[in-house]
Amino acid sequence: MTAFITANFVPLLFAGLLFFLLTGFPVAFSLGATGLLFGFVGIELGMFPANLFQALPLRIFGIMQNDTLLAIPFFTLMGIILERSGMAEDLLETVGQVFGPVRGGLAIAVILVGALLAATTGVVAAAVISMGLISLPIMLRYGYNRTIATGTITASGTLAQAIPPSLVLIVLADQLGRSVGDMYAGALVPGLMLVGLYLLFVVIVSIVKPSWTPALPPEARIYREPNGASGHRSLIALLTVCGVAGYVWSMFHEGIINPMVGRDRPAPGDEVVIMSLTVASFLALALAVINRVARLGLLSRLAEQVTFVLIPPLVLIFLVLGTIFLGVATPTEGGAMGAAGALLMAVARGRLNMPLLKQALVSTTRLSSFVMFILIGSTVFSFTFNAADGHIWVEHLFDSLPGGALGFLIVVNVLVFILGMFIDFFEIAFIVIPILAPVAAKILPELMPGVPVDIVMIWFGVIIAMNLQTSFLTPPFGFALFYLRSVAARSDYKDRITGETIPAVTTAQIYKGSIAFIILQLIMVAVVIAFPQVVSDGLGDSAPKVDPDKALEQLRTGRDALQQMGSDPAGQAGKPERDPMQDLLDAVKGGEQKK
């Protein structure tokens, strides 16, 4: 019996964890209990030293001192304050009015607002419930296909997992031992590409099946000018002016910012985009304020409404991400600034009161405590796992897979996808990722030759984050599906505007609506795997570039100086027939050509 336990210790360790989880025991305590139980068994069997857990208190204290994890409560508080202050309702109404006149406009509005809520609230439940309460009745009122309506709402709510500043990206960066700022920079382009994929899908559906996504009728458009115009021309003119300003800034960004931050390398593309959008947003807000204060009447009601509702959260997003990408602030400091900005926005809107603040603080404390307890439990589990050389066991487990590194990546994604059907993304991040990270760091660099391991691991983290997003949509335990089910009509009801009877939304319709968007998310995962540059290009190369010609010139200058001082034996002996530094330069250039 002893020999069997010793030979199969790691599989038994996972079986013990699975047993605790199936009993319904909380995940954090299941991890801790499994680690302690098997740790003491291993000590009794002589597998581990008796002092195995002596360093555990220091590790737990180190977790409590981890500044990176402070970003979680800050961003959570920022999101809850913005969500409870009615930002989602205002955004959905305004963006719906902008895109409502075109087919599929309401679905486009839901996707765009979902992306904005993802970048501000970062909370899937808040996004899905808000859009389910506000948008779903409107979409059903005007004849939207139920599969498209429910799928768009649930999928857009899950964007909070992929678009920075995401809590998932913070946790993955911590578990992979990489920079949160780099994880944000790497995930920005894939997250925006996923939003674009959703929009493209809606546009295609609107063309192929126009009856599924009707436009808003004229009587439903509330922001009209006295002469009956919609006000879109004024809005387009404002966007054009601000877009030109943002483009001009992008041309001069490097020359302005590099001296300020003391950088001699080219500015990363994501930084340029974020800062250009920030400048354009500030300009739009300034023009709208001047127009209203001076009563110039140059902007339509729609343009003013869009500016005053849309721009403040956009500015907050861009400032938080911009300071992080510039290196001016750490993600923790950026989160603190975001939380302070959210409080100021709620005060400016007259919606911050003590009950709201208390509720936000309680919710933030609960989520932060939940994360910390899972992290402590996973640390206890990892003590026993590492003591049993579990990482070697996992590495050997993947050695026999066909396909090498690519096979490993595919199997890991299938594993995460299946686990996402049953357990929460936090639990996957804290249990699975620490086990796979050492193996990934050893195997995956062969897929990106010449790229630093840190960038490879950021790429791996972004792939996992995109995959974890599907966990909210996959039955049987897709949380986004449950959130929408909780607010969607369970019985037929009479619409308060049209007076018509609207049939109930069935659970099957909600589940069916998620299928197309799960496929779109998996396509995006495949794109990130096939084209790692969509992640790595946003990170740049932190290693300094060496110019061989400049290096040769510096070497020659130094040698000439030594000759003049009479301290260079080669100079005293006479110039050699071939300059050895030239040989060195030729070798360097020859190596570059081979690459």
Per-residue pLDDT tens digits for 156-188: 888 877 888 777 888 888 888 888 888 888 888
How far apart are the C-alpha atoms of 380 and 584, rounded to whole Å? Answer: 53
Residue 551 has pLDDT above 80, yes or no: no
How much is the average pLDDT of 126-153?
Answer: 85
End-to-end CA distance of the chain: 56
Per the CB < 8 A criterion, the answer to whether 371 and 71 are in contact is: no
**Residues 389-417 pLDDT 10s:** 887 787 777 767 777 788 888 888 988 88
Q: Which residue has the higher pLDDT, 278 or 558?
A: 278
What is the pLDDT, as a whole number, of residue 459? 92
Residue 402 to residue 577: CA distance in whole angstroms: 56
The number of CA neighbours under 13 Å toward the Cβ of 77 is 23
pLDDT confidence tier of residue 563, bands split at 50, 70 and 90: low
Q: Please tell me the least confidently modeled range out of 102-106, 121-125, 361-365.
A: 121-125
pLDDT for the residue 541: 47
CA–CA dist 251, 228 (Å, integer): 40
pLDDT band at 586 (very low <50, low <70, confident <90, very high): low
Print burial letters for 32-66: b (CB count within 10 Å at least 16), e (below 16).
Answer: bbbbbebbebbbeeebbeeebbeebeeeeeeeeee
Phi, psi of 263 (to 5 degrees): -115, 140
More confident residue, 595 or 426: 426
- Provide the pLDDT for residue 185: 86
Amino acid at 104: G
Nearest to 139 by CA among 213, 199, 88: 213
What per-residue confidence (pLDDT) applies to 122?
64
At residue 349, does pLDDT exceed 90?
Answer: no
Q: What is the pLDDT of residue 574?
A: 43
pLDDT band at residue 568, thresholds of 50, 70 and 90? very low
Answer yes or no: is pLDDT of 518 > 80: yes
Neighbours of 545 (CB within 10 A): 6
In whole angstroms, give the CA distance from residue 428 to residue 245: 43
Helix (H) or strand (E) holding 549: helix 548-564
H runs (alpha helix) in 388-424: 390-399, 404-419
Question: Is omega for the bond preceding 438 within 30 degrees of 0, making it cis?
Answer: no
φ, ψ at 34 (rounded to 5°): -65, -45
Q: DSSP secondary structure string, 245-297?
A: HHHHHHHHHHHHHHHHHT--SPPPHHHHHHHHHHHHHHHHHHHHHHHHHTT--
pLDDT at residue 522, as a whole number: 92
Instruction: Select the more confidently predicted residue: 592 or 461.
Output: 461
Q: How far apart are CA 422 and CA 432, in angstroms?
A: 14
What confidence category does residue 458 fall into, taking pLDDT thresholds of 50, 70 and 90?
very high
Q: 112 exposed, middle or buried (CB, 10 Å; 0-12, 13-18, 19+)?
A: buried
Q: In the predicted model, is pLDDT for residue 121 greater than 80?
A: no
Q: Please give the Cα distance from 323 to 320 (Å, whole number).
A: 6
CB distance 69 to 371 below 8 Å:
yes
Mean pLDDT, range 76-99, rounded to an integer: 80
Q: How far is Cα 155 from Cα 322, in angstroms, rounded to an integer?
A: 26
Nearest to 480 by CA among 159, 162, 21, 140: 159
Least confident piece of the model among 301-305, 341-345, 543-547: 543-547
- What is the predicted pLDDT for the residue at 123? 66
Alpha helices in 85-145 (DSSP H): 87-99, 105-120, 124-141
Mean pLDDT computed over 251-261: 85
Sign of CA dihedral 81, 88, 202, 193: negative
**Of 16, 12, 28, 194, whose CA–CA distance to 111 is shortest?**
194
Which residues on neighbouring strands pair with residue 501, listed in sequence order?
Answer: 494
3-state secondary structure of 477: coil
Residues composing the chain = 595
Q: What is the DSSP letter of 493?
A: E
Question: What number of H helices and E strands is found in the chain?
Answer: 26, 2
